[in-house]
Chains A and B, each alone.
Chain A
Amino acid sequence: MVQSYRLSEWCSNAPVLEEDLALTNFALDMTGRAQVLLTYAGKVEGSGKTDDDLAYRRKEREFYNHLVMELPNGDFAFTIARLLFTSAYEYYFFTELKHSADEALAAVAAKTVKEVKYHLAHASDWVLRLGDGTAESHKRMQQAVNELWPYTGELFETSNADAVLRDKNIAVDLAPVKALWRTHVLSVLTEATLEQPEDGYMHSGGSKGVHTEHLGHILSEMQYLQRAYPEATW
């Protein structure tokens, strides 16, 4: 959902019209996925919360998204490099999740894999074109990759809760996902004549609700209406 918000910000701002449509289409895909997952989360939590409640009435510290999703869009290179990293992660993650013992999650995963496969193809193609492009596009692409790399470690963090769910075969084992992700990302970056940065310090905190300063701004815009007019319906 947070990433959907960021991609929506490209609406009417993208470099070419077709890309405007592509990025906002992806945002819509992600919103649909968020809606299904949040509805299910509300059900599992058991206190009667709807997807809207969870989307629009949680505060920053109650959001558990990966930090990379909330970073500002930057230039097109930054957005598309981020999309490469996150969609590669999602593709391998949801492919695994299809085997979950939890039927609802497995169903979401089956649908999501089709969407993110396309996101991944689109992002990979752009990284190739821009990385192996002009001097300017190569420079911007490399800079984007370098800036984003410290945020990619968080994608593969696990917690005790994950371990419990994995034992029940509900959650995904992230180790093979990470291996597949690294292979794919490395091959795309290499073909795009880009350098893969060294693994150094990795940002963290999303799963504990500790976020960058950007999430507050996103939520204040995204949740404004529901907070100003709590009983609003349409």
Chain B
Amino acid sequence: MATDTQFPLWEVFIQSKSGANYVHAGSVHAADSKMALQNARDTYTRRGEGTSIWVVPSGAIVASNPEDNDMFFDPANDKVYRHPTFYVMPEGAKAI
């Protein structure tokens, strides 16, 4: 990848309705945080997808290393007593 002639990269998270969690929607290039918010709004909320936007410089995101997946995730996966699968959700609590 050549030295970017693009503006810095930002990751975009959108909250679809108040109280919900923010979901990663994609990324935008922008020169500063104000522009990043506007670009995210133009790019990712065109069809009414959200009510709130977070933008984070991509460099601030720390991601887990795929080579460590074994170490990170397998120990929890094979222990069925750790999973919340034996509780039946009551009808009215579906939104949690």
Contacts and interface: CB of A to CB of B under 8 A. Distances in A.
Contacts of A18: 28-30, 39, 42-43
B23 interface: no
A125 B34 CA distance: 9
Question: Which of B6, B29, B34, B38 is packed against the most chain A CB atoms within 10 Å?
Answer: B38
Nearest to A128: B34
Contacts of A21: 39, 42-43, 46
A16 B4 CA distance: 13
B42 A17 contact: no
Interface string B11-41: 0000000000000000011110011001100
Interface residues of A, number: 10
A121 B38 CA distance: 9
A16 B34 CA distance: 16
A35 to B, nearest CB: 18
A129 to B, nearest CB: 7
B7 interface: yes
A106 interface: no
A16 B42 contact: no
A129 B31 contact: yes
A25 interface: yes
Contact of B38 (A16, A17, A22): A22
A133 to B, nearest CB: 10
A178 interface: no
Nearest to B38: A122
B42 A25 contact: yes
A43 to B, nearest CB: 29
Contacts of B30: 18
Contacts of A17: 29
A95 to B, nearest CB: 21
Contacts of A121: 38
Contacts of A129: 31, 35
Contacts of A25: 42, 46
Question: Which of A16, A18, A25, A129 is packed against the most chain B CB atoms within 10 Å?
Answer: A18
Interface of B: 6-7, 28-31, 34-35, 38-39, 42-43, 46
The 7 A-B pairs at the shortest CB distance, nearest first, are namely A18-B39, A22-B42, A21-B42, A25-B42, A21-B43, A18-B28, A122-B38
